[in-house]
Amino acid sequence: MRQGQSRISPRYRVRQSRQFKLELFGSLEDRTVPTMNLATTSVISDEILVQYSSGTNVQLRAQSRYNLNVQLKDEILSAERLKMGDGAMELIKLPAGMSNQKALDWFSRQPGVVFAEPNYRVTASAVSNDTYYTNGQLWGMEGSDSPTPVGPAGTTNIYGINAEAAWNDGQTGSKSIFVGIVDTGIQVTHPDLIDNIWTNPYDAVDGIDNDGNGYVDDIHGWDFESNDNSVYDSVDDDHGTHVAGTIGGKGGNGAGVAGVNWNVTMISAKFLGTNGGTTADAVRAIDYMTDLKTRHGMDVVATNNSWGGGGYSAALHSAIIRAAKADILTIIAAGNSANNNDSVASYPSNTSTLVGTTTTTAASYEGVIAVASLDSSGAMSSFSSYGKNSVDIAAPGAGIMSSVPNNTYASYSGTSMATPHVTGSIALLASKYPNATASQLRTAILATATPTSSVTGKVLTDGRLNVQAALNYSGFNTTPTPPSLSIANVSKAEGNSGTSNLMFTVTLSQPAAADVTVNYATSDVTATAVTDYAAASGTVTIPAGSTTGTFNVVVNGDSTVETDETLRVTLSGASSNATIGTATATGTITNDDVAPVPSLSVANVSKAEGNSGTSNLVFTVTLSQAAASSVTVNYATSNLTASAGSDYVATSGIVTIPAGSTTGTFNVVVNGDSTVETDETLRVTLSGASSNATIGTSTATGTITNDDVAPLPTLSIANVSKAEGNSGTSNLVFTVTLSQTAAESVTVNYATSNLTATAGTDYVATSGTVTIPAGSTTGTFNVVVNGDTTVESDETLRVTLSGASSNATIATATATGTITNDDVAPPVVPSLSIANVSKAEGNSGTSNMVFTVTLSQAATAAVTVNYATSDVSATAGTDYVAGSGTVTIPAGSTKGTFNV
């Protein structure tokens, strides 16, 4: 970019999907919370931030993620946040299809969660402005030149911050004052910046995190967007470079620009990239600065935050409070939407309305300055946001010339440009008053604001920044106070075996001219000396000129699943050149042993139905192992072969297994009857287990067993006949009949025996078993018959049933098999004969001689024969009457008669 070129950058807002109660986190100043303009905010749709309370263990946090099926994207391991006793903060990645709101609602109800909120997209606060600054003057650094002219001709502007008067008085800053630039990156080699860029003396470039802050080789700061140590990547890092030039561009070198401070040390905390940044990374960036101050005693007086967007973030608010507790001011751009922030909130600027009076969870003063923008004519910039209750002061922000990449310069406009004027002024004040507190520095800046009509009623002070007036503020306490000692909380995963160290850091509020010593000693809280850790006592020495000293407490590792355990370290007996501020710290031995999540199962149950009334199927839900808190699970019945209403009562509800127990029961009511029927079944299904358990076996079958007995079916066998045939064999087929079908197959034994038929000659003796299949009523078996040509009478055999199976009885046990004769004898012709007869003739008259004709055997039809008399010794006519005729012997008879 060419020198003098005007740069236009968009500033975005991001949608807020959820707000949280501010009283959870405390505040630093009691002001009215403006209404959030939801229509102008945006969130990262598949990420949320979750803050846990101190002591919430890894197992519980992992279980919460597992139950919602989300992933841990990152843990916000800000060393400063942990030192101040805050619990873990997690950046959660949501699966495709899961709404941001669903995850927020779910996590906010989980045990140990302090708050859950969106991860907002935020961007730098520079906007377009048609004003093109062509004369190259730094009007924002100028003053009124009254009563005495300062600087060369043409460097007069009453709406500048009058830095030139401070320079003229020899106030050009100090390298021992540190400022954090939370922004895009900075071109650290820019000729107007290179002398004022921080080089980390605690972490050599060797691939090792020598200072233990979690960032390897953070030589000039850290890139929180890319998570590396390169704080300058391309010309896209122009915004941070421009801000740096206003705060600490090298003055008096005859080239380029001059910042408010000609001497200062600037640290880059890059978290904005081409597409902006996130609140998660902003939290890391601010905590990084706080950690540098508390860990190494660096005099970090302020962070510059020329960016905005997103909704209220409790996570970011907490980071700002941690900075305030460490005596670091957070200077924030009011925003470029031209809105009244009292009614349409702009974050993080509006955090100024949320930070409040002294509480146990907040600092004891307001830690934020929100900055509006003025143009060179003293008017509020057309783009600038404002707010009597939410914006503190105005400063030059339109047509501001400063450094940009490629060793050049450009004019930018925006509240982004106004903010570094205030941040630079804070650093300049701190260089003059090294013992001043953050609260005193803030008060001086706001109390000395020059009244300005264009911002009257639009900012808290009704005025604009005047650094020269602030430098002459009479409220500073110039009497040095002894530095105070404090000790920070530490946590450490215990490990599964061996030992590790809890490293405690004792921090001096500022370096002392001589060594500072203080005694320390451990004591039990919930951790037990010897078992969980090695009791320790001794003396820490902080060398002259330094601000920190450390000592270790040895932790014993084990594989026992347990809650986090704590010990206390107490400082005492400080040397005379220091006082003890924070005398105690907690060492937390965090449990890193994860117990398996217990699983729920439900078992099958059976119950005889009974003949009347009701009874219960008692189902047992079993937990694979006892849980520390009660476990609940829903249950509901559904039909299989049983019907709700007639066979059982449909049921649903919740089973609770108390903490420490492994079983819970529920009943399903069974209706009794006297109907003979098959066993009937229903299903029970488990669902919706509480977060501390999973469901293993989700269904079970309830069987209502039939206890009504039907009369046993009876077996019978029928007679059979069969013509024997002249040769070979044939079969007598006997049928065994069941009086009714049975649910299972029925068997019965059979065997033959002789009647008039002879086994071996007339038939083949047989025995065996007949099976009648389930659902059928008949079964058959064969008796083999031998054929012959003998004329004989019909012959018979007997079949006898025995040994029926238990599901039937025998009614008709025997049957006759008849082998019918089918052989015919040759026909026989019967013969007739007549027998002699004698008769006394008598003395007179007549009498009859009765002759009998006899048939040798009866015939099937009547037989006739003729007869006739003839003389022998008797004479026809004299002795007898000659006769002839026919004799008939009826069918079936053998005799017939006639008379002579």
| Active site (catalytic) residues | 183, 239, 416
Q: What's the DSSP call for residue 235?
A: G
Taking the alpha carbons at both ends of the chain, their separation in whole angstroms is: 175
Contact present, 407 and 395 (Cβ < 8 Å): no
Q: For residues 349 and 36, what is the distance between their CA atoms, to the nearest angstrom? A: 12
Contact present, 88 and 61 (Cβ < 8 Å): yes
Give the bridge partners for 5, in sequence order. Answer: 410
3-state secondary structure of 442: helix
Kindly report the CA angle at 603 between 598 and 607, in degrees rounded to 5? Answer: 155
Contact present, 509 and 491 (Cβ < 8 Å): no
- For 293-355, the DSSP string reads HHHH---EEEEEE-EE-SS--HHHHHHHHHHHHTT-EEEEE--SS--BTTTSB-TTGGGGGT-
Among 195, 128, 193, 164, smallest CA distance to 416 is for: 128
Q: For residues 236 and 225, what is the distance between their CA atoms, to the nearest angstrom? A: 13
Among 628, 703, 623, 604, smallest CA distance to 664 is for: 623
Give the bridge partners for 523, in sequence order. Answer: 568
Q: Left, alpha or beta for 600 (phi > 0: left; psi -120 to 50: alpha)?
A: beta
Buried b (16+ CB within 10 A) or exposed e, 835-864: eeeeeeeeeeeeeeeebebebeeebeeebe
Question: Treating both helix axes as pointing N-terminal to C-terminal, what angle do 100-108 and 58-68 enclose, rounded to 10 degrees?
Answer: 140
3-state secondary structure of 167: helix
The values of phi and psi at residue 22, to 5°, are -70, -25
Contact present, 604 and 616 (Cβ < 8 Å): no
Contact present, 620 and 602 (Cβ < 8 Å): yes
Residue positions counted in the chain? 900
Residues 6+ apart with CB under 8 A from 857: 828, 830, 894
Burial class for 193, CB neighbours closer than 10 Å (0-12, 13-18, 19+): buried
- How many helices (H) and strands (E) the chain has is answered by 10, 50
3-class DSSP string for 253-298: CCCCCCCCCCEEEEEEEECCECCEEEHHHHHHHHHHHHHHHHHHCC
3-class DSSP string for 76-145: CCCHHHHHCCCCCEEEEECCCCCCHHHHHHHHHCCCCEEEEEEEEEEEECCCCCCCCCCCCCCHHHCECC
Give the bridge partners for 832, in sequence order. Answer: 855
Widest distance between CA atoms in the chain: 215
Q: Left, alpha or beta for 262 (phi > 0: left; psi -120 to 50: alpha)?
A: alpha
β-strands 599-602, 694-697 pairing: parallel
The values of phi and psi at residue 754, to 5°, are -70, 145
Q: For residues 311 and 117, what is the distance between their CA atoms, to the nearest angstrom? A: 9
Q: For residues 116 and 100, what is the distance between their CA atoms, to the nearest angstrom? A: 11
